[in-house]
Amino acid sequence: MISSLLPRLEHVGIAVADAAPVRTLYRRLLGTLPYKVEEVQDQGVATHFIAAGAAKLELLEALHDDSPIARHVARRGEGLHHLAFEVADLAAHMERLREAGFRLLQDEPQPGADGKRIVFLHPKDTHGVLVEFCESQPALPPPTRVAVPGGSLAVYSWGSADRPPLVLLHGAAGSTPTETAVLARALAPHFHIAALDFAGHGASDVFPDDALTADRFVADVQAVLEAFGWPAAHAFGFSMGGYIAAELARRHPDQVERLAVHASNAFWDEALVAQMNARLQPDALPARVQAQLDHVHRDWRLLFDRMRTFVAGLPALSDVADRLQAIQQPTLVTAADQDDLFPLQSALDLHAHLPDSRLGVLPGTRHGIAHVSVPALAELLHAHFLPEAARSFG
């Protein structure tokens, strides 16, 4: 059934030979620069999005000579490339259009820029103007449940099962939807991704009688690997998730192929514990944040209490350096240069102690994946986990 929403002009695609002068042009015309640049590798195109009222302009710049945009510019010059109409239910509209005799250039919706799924109509059927229909992707796939003793974990999955497996681990008092999902979407074309909510976090069960410990979280990840039938996977962790990914790599080296951590800290002192735990005081949070947390976790006040205990136990790890030295997997350590929780020195220390480590520093002032450029972080992770597939930037 087709939604009552009528197709809405979402964007106008404009083919350009070189985006730089066209960006300048629209800054002069509209007083604004593109709010986002995104590469769509499948199409060989960089898209520059410029806000223009209810719709937007999408400058299309070829990434290489084989790109359809390069061929379009060579044949027809720069200019209008396509009109895109957004619909709520793309599959239903594709059926409607086929029944009406339109030829579609793709049998199935394709991944487009800006989190869209898209399909093009044959321009011979549309009087010379290429027409795209698009729909916004659902923000999150529904989680599956993975059974563990006493309950179950919520696990979100992206990407095709024939891609290399990758687990994504969120931070303390975080969740997949609020932290790692944004990265999963960027990495989904290249990996089969499982992102779990740790016990007591997000949509996973609360397990009120269990202590939340590193042992527990490592076992959570192992349960997910087993449920997905993965003897081993690449592992990425944000903040505390980085600690858990590293512990999994150290304790069970056969289960982690390559490791990456972002905005993670290994060397705790009392001052850092106090700073971390100040963030885990439920009543100190603004009412607006408390209301959000009601939607993120099943019992966030209990979770915060338990995670303060978890954090307070961290400095007891007197053998952190030895633990890090024991990690043999190739590891990527990334950080925001001005992270407001863990100083850049945290990343430098990790990098110095891990035997096979690379370092990536991104501009950013806040502690969170979404506070650095997600495409840039995804690019570093893609190149680290799949070095054979890494593109050259020549």
Q: Given the complex with Zn ion, which of 13 and 174 has the nearer CB atom?
A: 13
Q: Is the dihedral of CA 92, 93, 94, 97 positive or negative?
A: positive
CA distance 363 to 287: 30
Nearer Cβ to Zn ion, position 375 or 387? 375
Residue numbers 12-41 binding Zn ion by CB under 5 A: 13
Q: Which residues pair with 119 in a beta bridge?
A: 133
Minimal distance in Å, beta carbon 73 to Zn ion? 16
Nearer to Zn ion, 69 or 311 (CB): 69
Give the contact letters, 346-385, x = binds to Zn ion (CB under 5 A), - = no: ----------------------------------------
Minimum Å distance from CB 18 to Zn ion?
A: 19
Shortest distance, CB of residue 81 to Zn ion, whole angstroms?
8
Task: Tell me which stretch binds Zn ion (CB under 5 A): 79-87, 157-165, 264-272, 278-286.
Answer: 79-87
Stretch that binds Zn ion, among 8-16, 148-156, 164-172, 235-243 (CB under 5 A): 8-16
Residues 200-219 that bind Zn ion (CB under 5 A): none
Q: Are 194 and 252 in contact (CB under 8 A)?
A: no
Q: Which range, of 66-74, 77-85, 160-168, 243-251, touches Zn ion by CB under 5 A?
A: 77-85
CA distance 143 to 177: 10
Binding span for Zn ion by CB under 5 A among 5-13, 89-97, 241-249, 347-355: 5-13
CB-nearer residue toward Zn ion: 36 or 163: 36
Query: How many residues bind Zn ion, per CB under 5 A?
Result: 3
- Asked whether the beta carbons of 104 and 94 are under 8 A apart, the reply is yes
Regarding 69 and contact with Zn ion (CB under 5 A), the answer is: no
Could you say which residues in the range 80-139 bind Zn ion, by CB under 5 A? Answer: 84, 132
Nearer to Zn ion, 13 or 44 (CB): 13
Looking at the Cβ atoms of 132 and 339, the one nearer to Zn ion is: 132
Q: How far is the CB of 281 from Zn ion (least distance, A)?
A: 46
CB of 5 to Zn ion, least distance (A): 19
Shortest CB 132 distance to Zn ion, Å: 5
CB of 11 to Zn ion, least distance (A): 6
At its nearest, how many Å lie between Zn ion and the CB of residue 83? 8
Residue 71 and residue 15: Cα distance in Å, rounded? 10
Long-range contacts of 59-62 (CB under 8 A, 24+ apart): 59/14, 59/16, 59/19, 59/22, 59/23, 59/26, 59/34, 60/13, 60/14, 60/15, 60/16, 61/16, 61/17, 61/18, 61/19
The residue behind tokens 């590891």 is 331
**Whose Cβ is closer to Zn ion: residue 14's or residue 183's?**
14
Asked if 93 and 7 touch (Cβ cutoff 8 Å), the reply is: yes
C-beta of 117 vs 252, nearer to Zn ion: 117
Residue 121 makes CB contacts below 8 A (sequence gap 6+) with 97, 102, 103, 104, 105, 130, 131, 132, 133
In the bound state with Zn ion, the residue whose beta carbon lies nearer, of 111 and 141, is: 111
Q: Least distance (Å) from Zn ion to the CB of residue 106?
A: 13
The sign one gets for the Cα dihedral 64, 68, 69, 72 is positive
Pick between residue 93 and residue 297 the one whose CB is nearest to Zn ion: 93
Instruction: Give, in order, the Cα–Cα distances in Å from 330 to each of 20, 235, 259, 320, 388.
Output: 37, 11, 6, 18, 14
Helix runs in the chain, H state only: 19-30, 68-76, 90-99, 181-187, 214-228, 240-251, 270-278, 287-296, 300-312, 320-325, 344-353, 374-385
Residues 6+ apart with CB under 8 A from 240: 169, 170, 171, 172, 174, 217, 264
The nearest distance, CB 101 to Zn ion, in angstroms, is 23
Residues in touch with Zn ion (CB under 5 A): 13, 84, 132
